Amino acid sequence: MNSIATLRDAVKGAVVLPGDATWEQERLAWHLTNDQHPAAVVHVTGVDDVVAAVNFAKQHGLSVTAQARGHGATAALQGAILLRTLGLTAIEVDEQARIARVEPGVRWGELNEVLAPTGLTGLPGSSGDTSVVGYTLGGGLSWFGRKYGQAANHVHAVELVTADGEPVRVTAESDPELFWAVRGGGGDFGIVTALELRLFAEPQIYGGRMTFAAEHAREVFRSFVAVTKSAPEDLTLWAWLMNMPDAPMIPEPMRGRWLVMIDAVYLGSSSAADALLAPIRAAAPLLSDTVGTVPLNQLDGVANEPVDPVPGLLQGTLLSGFDESAVDALIAAANPGQPSPVAVFEVRHLGGAFARPQPTDGAAGALAEPYLLFFGGFLPSPAFTPILEAAMGEITEAMATWDTQRTHLNMSSNKPVEVLFPTDVLSSLRAIKHRRDPNGVIRSNHPVG
Ligand SMILES: Cc1cc2nc3c(=O)[nH]c(=O)nc-3n(C[C@H](O)[C@H](O)[C@H](O)COP(=O)(O)OP(=O)(O)OC[C@H]3O[C@@H](n4cnc5c(N)ncnc54)[C@H](O)[C@@H]3O)c2cc1C
């Protein structure tokens, strides 16, 4: 029996190894383009399994990594033991203290469902399918982040298994250094078995998607620029240009069309939101408008992100600004209406609390950049990769004036770690990693090195 097979004796959960009948399915991530090859997959059943897997890795000179859904998969886990956490789904909400404790298999859609009747919310992003833990370790860019900042900066406590195989509960008081690193530094500092998150009272969410024909892209994007210039922190707007293939995985009405869309989420009354959105609605004839009251458990309907795994390439770039000339440059490069391998262009408005550093922040810190551009396309076959990469390179070139050469950990695909963190933050993360895990037993999707 080879040594990796003895992992089956060490853990209670199912272990799947290369050569097993289900291996080819089990090793995959949601992000299908990252053709990952771990040493083994373990479906962990609890903290004991995580401790056992970390100790096994230590003894056998291996690394351990964790994935819930694998939306954030990169090439980094090759040869590591992959802990699948989707079985760990407990959610406990203390409404009085406004804290939710979630295990690492919990998805945002599940937490939103539990919180909806309470009038409290965490800081969810656009997809209900991403795990709360994976998203938060990477910073967490929420619909509500302009008001509250990144999700990682609102973690109250972290339960994790360290590289030494110790289960610990870490707070700002118990271990300030580790508590800082894990809140935005990614999954390199321990295998997280639960997060305690601060909750916020938000009685009313108003939002949805306004869709226009792509021939109006310039006017609609310019209205986005105008409204975001003075938007209150309760309002978050994202502008999209979409060129969707005519394929069953694409939901209607996007399938086979170029469209321009503005997604809005407002924390407050419908009348105040409608007044703020008036210039956008007036920019061009609306094809559809879903903006209305949004119960928290339907928040992921706003952006209608794909749930089924997709092969594709996407990359994010933090922008120094997004003005009318940036709109013109982006639209000229995207060339809506014409065939293009690039299918999605999304500009997210940041700013507000995202940009304000707080002394209690984790490694996620503040984001000075006021906008983020996220773009990419689908890969019907690997042979298509150079074509898509070349087209994405042209977009990057067109946006060079506004491109800060920095990106956000959750929006970074396989970008080098140097562009994910400011230099001082990266050196602190590296120093902590080298002190706490000199042999690299824990490995994230973006090892700090
Ligand atoms: C459709 C879509 C929409 C998205 N929208 C947003 C958004 O609005 N805002 C935003 O910020 N991000 C967004 N993301 C990015 C998403 O947050 C990241 O991909 C993130 O990694 C979460 O995905 P996941 O739960 O599948 O994580 P996984 O891919 O399962 O995990 C990501 C990484 O987190 C670490 N990790 C996960 N679990 C653990 C654990 N238990 N212990 C230690 N480390 C762990 C590992 O390093 C792992 O590789 C979106 C992604 C997609 C695909």
User: pLDDT digit string (tens) for 322-349?
Assistant: 999 999 999 999 999 898 999 999 999 9
Query: Which residue's alpha carbon is nearest to atom 4 within ligand 1?
Result: 127
Distance from the CA of 140 to the center of ligand 1, in angstroms? 9
Q: Domain check: are 75 and 99 in the same one?
A: no
Coil, helix or strand for 337? coil
Q: Domain check: are 429 and 341 in the same one?
A: no
CATH number at residue 129: 3.30.465.10
Q: Domain check: are 239 and 146 in the same one?
A: no
Asked whether residue 430 is assigned to any structural domain, the reply reads yes
Distance from the CA of 431 to the center of ligand 1, in angstroms? 24
Boundary residue ending a domain (52, 84, 116): 84
If one counts every other C-beta atom within 10 angstroms of the C-beta of residue 377, the result is: 21
Asked whether residue 195 is assigned to any structural domain, the reply reads yes
Q: Range of 161's domain?
A: 91-201+423-436
Residue 225's pLDDT band (boundaries 50, 70, 90)?
A: very high
Query: Which residue's alpha carbon is nearest to atom 50 within ligand 1?
Result: 127
* Residue 33: per-residue pLDDT: 81
Query: Which residue's alpha carbon is nearest to atom 27 within ligand 1?
Result: 134
User: pLDDT digit string (tens) for 288-301?
Assistant: 999 999 999 999 99
Is the four-CA dihedral 213, 214, 216, 218 of positive or negative sign?
positive
User: pLDDT digit string (tens) for 94-127?
Assistant: 999 999 999 999 999 999 999 999 999 999 999 9
Residue 46's pLDDT band (boundaries 50, 70, 90)?
A: very high
Tell me, using a 6 A CB cutoff, whether residue 374 lines ligand 1: no
User: pLDDT digit string (tens) for 367-377?
Assistant: 999 999 999 99
Average pLDDT of the chain is 95
Place of tokens 């391998």: 341
DSSP state of 227: H
Q: Domain check: are 218 and 230 in the same one?
A: yes
User: pLDDT digit string (tens) for 385-412?
Assistant: 999 999 999 999 999 999 999 999 999 8
Residue bearing the bigger pLDDT, 449 or 183? 183
Yes or no: say if 68 and 107 are a contact pair by the CB < 8 Å rule.
yes
Boundary residue ending a domain (36, 55, 84): 84
Q: Domain check: are 427 and 391 in the same one?
A: no
Asked whether residue 449 is assigned to any structural domain, the reply reads no
* Residue 315: per-residue pLDDT: 93
Asked whether residue 416 is assigned to any structural domain, the reply reads no
* Residue 246: per-residue pLDDT: 80
Of 31, 77, 135, best ligand 1 pocket probe by most atoms within 8 Å of the beta carbon = 135
Please compute the mean of the pLDDT values over residues 179-183 and round it to a whole number.
Answer: 98
* Residue 189: per-residue pLDDT: 98
Per-position DSSP letters for 51-66, written without gaps between them: HHHHHHHHHTT--EEE
CATH number at residue 326: 3.40.462.20
Asked whether residue 8 is assigned to any structural domain, the reply reads yes
* Residue 310: per-residue pLDDT: 78
Asked whether residue 47 is assigned to any structural domain, the reply reads yes
Closest of 441, 358, 375, 319 to residue 152, by C-alpha: 358
Q: State the total domains in the chain.
A: 3
Q: Domain check: are 404 and 341 in the same one?
A: yes
Q: Is 435 exposed, middle or buried (0-12, 13-18, 19+ CB in 10 A)?
A: exposed
Q: Domain check: are 43 and 97 in the same one?
A: no
Closest of 140, 158, 163, 160 to residue 150, by C-alpha: 140
Atom of ligand 1 nearest to the CA of 68: 30
Residue 29's pLDDT band (boundaries 50, 70, 90)?
A: confident
* Residue 271: per-residue pLDDT: 96
Q: Domain check: are 197 and 218 in the same one?
A: no
Q: Domain check: are 115 and 133 in the same one?
A: yes
Distance from the CA of 71 to the center of ligand 1, in angstroms? 5
Q: Domain check: are 255 and 376 in the same one?
A: yes
Q: Can you name the residues that pair with 5 across neighbouring β-strands?
A: none
Tell me, using a 6 A CB cutoff, whether residue 133 lines ligand 1: yes
User: pLDDT digit string (tens) for 155-174?
Assistant: 999 999 999 999 999 999 99
Pairing verdict, β 371-378 and 91-94: unpaired
Q: Domain check: are 326 and 358 in the same one?
A: yes
Q: Domain check: are 225 and 349 in the same one?
A: yes
Boundary residue ending a domain (84, 101, 127): 84
